[in-house]
Structure 1
């Protein structure tokens, strides 16, 4: 047999405990055929890696690709460090728009500005009276100017109570423009859905960027519903993007709970929430597959809306809140699980984590296992006894350590020392024998895997303070999180996460071994090439391997 490709002269970190390192990979049909074969296997092409490090493709199990891709098309506020810079960016964007067009900006983080929020009237001035919609990086709040509030008020009552959200008001009782949690739907109802072609373009931009960072698989944590969706038909955009060749990496989108509905059926069928025709999690192939159902239980630590068992420091009588009634949360989650949808529950505060553990364990004990592991997304504060319950139940906790690098000082100030030690755990998860994946929550935070790995290892805040030193990982553990850990978390460990025979040929060429450098140098590792299914889909300008082709006999 003539294999498709042989990669030689590489330092391969296989993540396979039976053969941790290798020098040669043989690829055929998009999969690994052999690793350091004892017998010569002829190949159509040979790639001499020149001693570069090769690792399995990185797998981010909690990202938001459409949101990220749209952000690449909107006014970027992620780098602003003052409100004056916000107003300047809005003014610059408005200068190119018609008088009635919206200024849409993304990536704003009040936490990086000491909690400061843009002034509604100053935004009016900056935009020349055009409506302004600023999406916060947390994804749990947005800011409107006066012109936008006026447009929203034509179709919605700004004075009405919002279940699971707040229209923030000034001392005089007037809306400031800040909308928290479910209150964001007031503007989304006006602006959404996005055209499917726009969503496809966002996916193309996002997934093309992923390749430059060595990412070959992504789980998008919430589409097609709730305040995080962009269209009720959003999954169709993923399918079209895949058909058109715009989807550059493997995707596992999660539908939001709101996208499911009660389905009729035979009296003997289990009652549950699902999609028409009974479609459920697991449908698809290695390129595009429906993931678990995403369920929001609480809010954001960055916005002080995550549901805690005790008040935030300095915020008397504020310990966050659930986004829906606790009984409704349980009932809806169990109904989806009965219909074949594993649970991925957003729970940041420890009180929300209590609800998530209770609901997931009840689902597992009552209805058995589903097609993918059940998950708790984020775990901003997880008490030690909660970690024990999570590990015992086989639940996957999905933390984002780069939050510490970007927002750690502000989070620590809100939590206090004891809860900071329990925040976004990592080592404690592994010490209990549980699965630890790699994830970013991009675009809430930087999603470059090598940067996130350094955060796993260092856990340094912007001020240089160590945030929960007992939760630091080794570099090897951090790499495992983004490969084997992520594969296990997504139920795909039989086909990805390791470079061993039969596995998908998804791999990354690096200029150095990130497990063999000083912790502060992990993020300096360069991605020189990214291969998906045996095809080199990204090549850095400095990547110059010796590549030779052989004629087919």
Structure 2
């Protein structure tokens, strides 16, 4: 019997402690069949790939990203590189120029932290856009900025002065709205602009997942779809299914439903009250290509916007402790109702006070109803006290930090937190020391999502100014690679089928030009992704590693000899 593919002449970091380095792989039916196979078995391959000495690692798995948001950002005006308000106004003017007089100007990626906290002036935005409405999405995802024309459109259907639970319409000293909308206040503009057409969402997924392949990403968890201020349509999951059917979904996806997308589902009188989707659909539905993940629950805001819920006020921000996005009792009740219905919990909690709530809710859910098939998670962990880490590890909760925030925003975060809390921010080493799972994630497009860059951030933890941010939380390059492979697989309930290159596991792997665990930390991000394979198929870089038929006796003999050399 022929098998599909034999890859040889490689340095393979298998992530299998019992056999950490190999020279060849045999792949069949989208899975690894053998590592350093017997020559007789290798000669049965229908095709071969010569890796020419490349380093092979399991496919990278980003377990907290926002693919639709990222893909849409590729279609919108990009403010990510703006380093002054004048640049912001120039980019807005260029984006507005070809638009109709009443058409919206939509821009993404604005980061106040990179501009010393400055916010665009609503009147200057009016001028730059020629009177067109402007909607600027902040990179944090927790705020946006409107110009005067856009505020007028919002005010036509809503009272901008009315209090908003878990949100804020910022005003100046004169009581006039500045254009800044925080947290739940963003719904005021989203109520006008959403939902997006499903075809637009599919296009965004196509752009995003195609880009992922160029970075070695083979699996992604999208942290919140179909509801709240982070979703783009109540039918958003349908766009994922259609994208898959049309061949537009280039990597494996695990979307999380936002809590707002769930609702009370009636049942038998003996059934417990639950919050879910019609027909009882819940976490775990799907297959290895597209599977429903946890329910995403927002508890607090953003460290970048000083809205994360902390026990001690922010430095220089008197009486500002951030806030929860919903009443604490309602947060607990809603989360438990979803858990009872079979949804694993992924709770956004950045401040340590919010993390207290998250740990209490998740441990109550587990103690009362048992463990779910997927681990329960706390997303981010911007400030985590040592005793909280103890509880997280003891309860088997997965904390999902984003170390590249340090590389991009670390100086601003350190100013807000002060030295003591900076040392407790976005932990990594402390999790491993307690035996907890450490996964890899980026929160893209809030931050750069290229895994090799994030791995370097795990190791170096350097801020933009070159300061070390929490040196006690540095990890090794090997540990950073494990986070993006075995750690992410464990965090997403897939430790038995992905994250390692061992027999029976998915043949998702990346070809690299160097071993990122064997270079200086400052060179990890310089590692080039040469090719990416998903399910045994090269989906990026196939021109660099052409598969050749292996049918002639001479080829078989050659393979036989190379296997012997690779196995030495």
Same fold by TM (over 0.5)? yes
Partner of 2:186: 184
Partner of 2:240: 238
Do the aligned partners of 2:531 and 2:544 also contact (CA within 8 Å) in 1? no
Partners of 1:208 and 1:268 lie apart in 2 by: 47
Partner of 1:15: 15
Partners of 1:548 and 1:266 lie apart in 2 by: 59
Q: How far did 1:545 drift?
A: 3.4
Task: Give the ranges of 4+ consecutive aligned residues of structure 1 lying more than 6 Å apart after TM superposition.
Answer: none
Partners of 1:351 and 1:86 lie apart in 2 by: 35
Partners of 2:140 and 2:294 lie apart in 1 by: 22
Partner of 1:27: 27
Which of these residues, 282, 288, 296, is aligned with residue 294 of structure 1? 296
Which of these residues, 435, 441, 444, is aligned with residue 442 of structure 1? 444
Q: Does 1:36 align with 2:36?
A: yes
Partner of 1:395: 397
Q: How far did 1:552 drift?
A: 10
Q: How far did 1:547 drift?
A: 3.6
Partners of 1:177 and 1:271 lie apart in 2 by: 41
Partner of 1:229: 231
Partner of 1:193: 195
Q: SS of the counterpart of 1:177? A: strand
* Number of residue pairs matched by the alignment: 551
Q: Does 1:2 align with 2:5?
A: no
Do the aligned partners of 1:50 and 1:546 also contact (CA within 8 Å) in 2? no
Q: Structure 2 regions of 5+ residues with no counterpart?
A: 554-568
Partners of 1:264 and 1:521 lie apart in 2 by: 56
Partner of 1:431: 433
Partners of 2:39 and 2:290 lie apart in 1 by: 35
Which of these residues, 265, 286, 292, is aligned with residue 263 of structure 1? 265
Partners of 2:547 and 2:386 lie apart in 1 by: 52
Q: TM-score, normalised by structure 2?
A: 0.96
Do the aligned partners of 1:7 and 1:24 also contact (CA within 8 Å) in 2? yes
Partners of 1:551 and 1:233 lie apart in 2 by: 49
Q: How far did 1:546 drift?
A: 6.0
Partners of 1:273 and 1:338 lie apart in 2 by: 8
Q: SS of the counterpart of 1:473? A: coil
Partners of 2:321 and 2:123 lie apart in 1 by: 30
- What is the CA deviation profile of residues 6-44 of structure 1, one whole-angstrom value per residue up to 9, with x for unaligned ones? 000100000011110100100000000000113422101
Q: SS of the counterpart of 2:393? A: helix
Moved more, 324-333 or 260-269: 260-269
Q: SS of the counterpart of 1:40? A: helix
Partner of 1:509: 511
Q: Structure 1 regions of 5+ residues with no counterpart?
A: none
Q: How far did 1:544 drift?
A: 3.2
Q: SS of the counterpart of 2:257? A: strand
Partners of 2:270 and 2:341 lie apart in 1 by: 13
| 1:271-350 paired onto structure 2 within 5 Å | 271-350=273-352
Partner of 1:208: 210
Q: SS of the counterpart of 1:416? A: helix
Partners of 2:46 and 2:75 lie apart in 1 by: 41
Q: How far did 1:551 drift?
A: 4.4
Partner of 1:496: 498
Partner of 2:61: 59
Partners of 2:394 and 2:344 lie apart in 1 by: 17
